């Protein structure tokens, strides 16, 4: 997606060999028009898949997921992240490790909001090791739902998440794929 590539080139900051900072338009400050265009692109890619629900994870996935849900005319559910692993009877839960923050989060979704028969599109901002995506997929499977696919804004294809998800049989649609960072430059795949 060229618009997103341009934004990454002009505003993204390569912090080291694996971290790209995009907090000026994606995960702290948000560019609403870019969110809308990304939502429309995800909706276009999954328009024939009878999506009934979108699942994302707080906080950075919400804006894109809601824009996608607006076009596909389906509700969005955002999974909650908690430090503690207080599980209840009312929620599906999965443990997700964040390499960036070096911590485990317990990710939960109320059982009232995904149910057997749902065709779920998972959306997240980044794909690196695949931890969040596998956690969300785990929750969808616990609920007995079908996973239509996984929509990712920025995939770092030099990290193993994309291959692991494909290997597990999931369809992954990434708006941009980054092959490497070199000399503070982004090389797209």
Residues that bind a second copy (CB under 8 A): 23-25, 28-33, 35-36, 58-59, 62-63, 65-67, 69-70, 73-78, 80, 83, 109-110, 112-113
Q: Are 153 and 183 in contact (CB under 8 A)?
A: no
Q: Are 68 and 43 in contact (CB under 8 A)?
A: yes
Closest CB 162 distance from a second copy, rounded Å: 26
Query: Coil, strand, or helix at residue 170?
Result: coil
What Å distances lie between residue 58 and 46, 55, 104, 147, CA to CA?
22, 10, 15, 19
- Comparison of 135 and 162: residue with beta carbon closer to a second copy: 135
Closest CB 68 distance from a second copy, rounded Å: 8
- Comparison of 113 and 158: residue with beta carbon closer to a second copy: 113
- Comparison of 63 and 133: residue with beta carbon closer to a second copy: 63
Closest CB 116 distance from a second copy, rounded Å: 17
Angle, nearest 10°, between helix axes 62-72 and 32-45? 50
């Amino acid at each position: 997606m060229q618009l997103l590539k341009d934004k990454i080139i002009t505003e993204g900051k390569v912090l080291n060999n694996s971290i790209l900072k995009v907090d000026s338009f994606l995960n702290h400050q948000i560019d609403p028009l870019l969110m809308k265009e990304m939502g429309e692109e995800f909706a276009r890619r999954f328009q024939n898949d009878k999506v009934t629900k979108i699942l994302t994870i707080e906080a950075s996935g919400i804006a894109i997921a809601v824009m996608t849900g607006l076009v596909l005319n389906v509700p969005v559910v955002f999974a909650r992240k908690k430090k503690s692993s207080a599980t209840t009877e009312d929620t599906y839960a999965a443990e997700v490790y964040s390499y960036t923050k070096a911590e485990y989060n317990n990710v939960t979704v109320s059982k009232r909001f995904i149910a057997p028969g749902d065709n779920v599109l998972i959306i997240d901002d980044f794909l690196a090791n695949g931890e969040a995506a596998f956690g969300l997929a785990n929750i969808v499977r616990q609920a007995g739902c079908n996973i239509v696919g996984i929509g990712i804004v920025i995939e770092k294809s030099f990290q193993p998440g994309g291959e692991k998800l494909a290997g597990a049989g999931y369809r992954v649609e990434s708006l941009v794929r980054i092959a490497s960072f070199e000399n503070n430059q982004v090389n797209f795949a």
